[in-house]
Amino acid sequence: MPRFPDRTEAGRQLAARFRRRADLGDVVVLALPRGGLPVAFEIARALNAPLDVFLVRKLGVPGQEELAMGAVASGGVRVMNDDVLGYLNISDGVIEDVVAQELRELERRERAYRGGRPAANVAGRTVIVVDDGLATGATMRAGVKALRGLGASRVIVAVPVAPREAYEEFQQEMDEIVCLSTPSPFWAIGQWYEDFSQLTDEEVCDYLDRAARLAGQGHVADRAAG
């Protein structure tokens, strides 16, 4: 199965799925940082919609940090992966230590990324929440739960790639999921990108600064991809 050259190209292909839709209404595009920013940027650009981040932190199993035992999101929302917790028999004390650590990092990123700007108001709006892929889906589930709690009228999950099983689960659980590829077997998100370089905090801030500046000028749909 072909891979995406990079996140920007994956975002352009996803954006094509949204460009001609007339059912979105008042829409805001939210990226899960850091990897979701280049993907979400292209969707926001195509829709002339505001772009912001929504912060969710994976709760990695100590010593196996890529394995998610859950996630926390802005607003104090916590979603746990009961299958992982049960299989590994992780103690409550270990869970709380990891949660506290990730909440500190979430708060740090809130301060670093926003630079004093308020978070996007999602109440009564259609939210397209974007990442560069799904693995277990715990991070995205936490984000969707938090957004519903904030009053979003509809939440659409948009990702370039996801395991077939996760995609089918999300079809049942979510308002809508838009996904370009559901390969099987699926080992890791980065497997499906030629360039999976990690973004820095500075690059995230640059995306948001340009989005805020150019959206205010009414040229979101015309700016060059970054």
Structural domain contains residue 123: yes
pLDDT at 222 over 50: no
Cross-strand bridge partners of residue 28: 127
Per residue in 153-206, pLDDT (tens digit) is 999 999 999 999 999 999 999 999 999 999 988 989 999 999 999 999 899 988
Structural domain contains residue 48: yes
Structural domain contains residue 164: yes
HSE toward the beta carbon, residue 14, CA cutoff 13 A:
34
Range of the domain at 158: 7-214
Q: How many helices and strands in the chain, by DSSP H and E?
A: 7, 8
pLDDT band at 20 (very low <50, low <70, confident <90, very high): confident
Structural domain contains residue 81: yes
Structural domain contains residue 222: no
Structural domain contains residue 2: no
Q: How far apart are CA 105 and CA 75, in angstroms?
A: 14
pLDDT at 221 over 60: no
Per residue in 102-120, pLDDT (tens digit) is 999 888 888 888 777 788 8
- Cβ–Cβ under 8 Å, residues 103 and 57: yes
Structural domain contains residue 219: no
The pTM of the whole model exceeds 0.85 = no
Structural domain contains residue 226: no
Instruction: Give the chain's domain count.
Output: 1
